[in-house]
Amino acid sequence: MKALKLPSHLRRKLRKSLGILLRGNNYVDVAAEAVNMLRTCSHTIAVGDICCESLVRAGFIPDVCVIDRRTLRQDREPELPIGIFNKVVHVRNPPSTITEEAEEAVSHAIQESLNNVKTLVLVSGEEDLLTLTAIMYSHTGFCVTYGQPSEGLVIVKVDRGIKDLVKHIVSKFAKVTV
């Protein structure tokens, strides 16, 4: 399967938030604060188990949720009511990569969100870098949100500038087969 692999020299750069960081360790409180901002977005893509679950607990269902059933490299069962989604998609995406399969699933889910289809993307492997994919395929006015470990929740308001930055970062990834 074709994939893009994160080069080690970009790891530090990607640890910095790409948007607005809402700080806090109480996931529910941070999610409640995030919901107020996310309501101004035309669509929302949430990446990460805790991020998705916290938003749902706060009464906000993202248009697309991307999870891997792991938090801080520990296996866990998602606490998301699967029935809130119209569609569930399973993909493979090894750590430190963006597979063609995962990229297509996220892109398709974002496109379907324009028709009010809510999608849960279940990743076998790791979902972290799919935040970049979500930003690249989102439209201006969308928001992409993800967890920043030990810090809080990041909200990226998608515009041409952030899309160009992310495309530039991803262009430095190595093409591999996994």
Summarised one tens digit per residue, pLDDT across range 97-150 is: 999 999 999 999 999 999 999 999 999 999 999 999 999 999 999 999 999 988
| C-alpha atoms less than 13 angstroms from C-alpha of 26 in its C-beta half-sphere | 5
Residue 77: band (very low, low, confident or very high) from pLDDT cuts 50, 70, 90: low
Q: What is the pLDDT of residue 27?
A: 86
**Distance from C-alpha of 56 to C-alpha of 117, rounded to nearest angstrom:** 16
Domain hosting 15: range is: 2-177
Number of independent structural domains in the chain: 1
Query: Which residues have CB under 8 Å from 51's CB, separation 6+?
Result: 31, 145, 146, 147, 153
Centre a 10 Å sphere on the Cβ of residue 82 and count the other Cβ atoms it contains.
Answer: 9
Tokens of 151: 């810090």
Lowest mean pLDDT among 18-27, 78-87, 97-106, 163-172: 78-87
> What's the rounded Cα separation, in Å, for the pair 155 and 105?
21
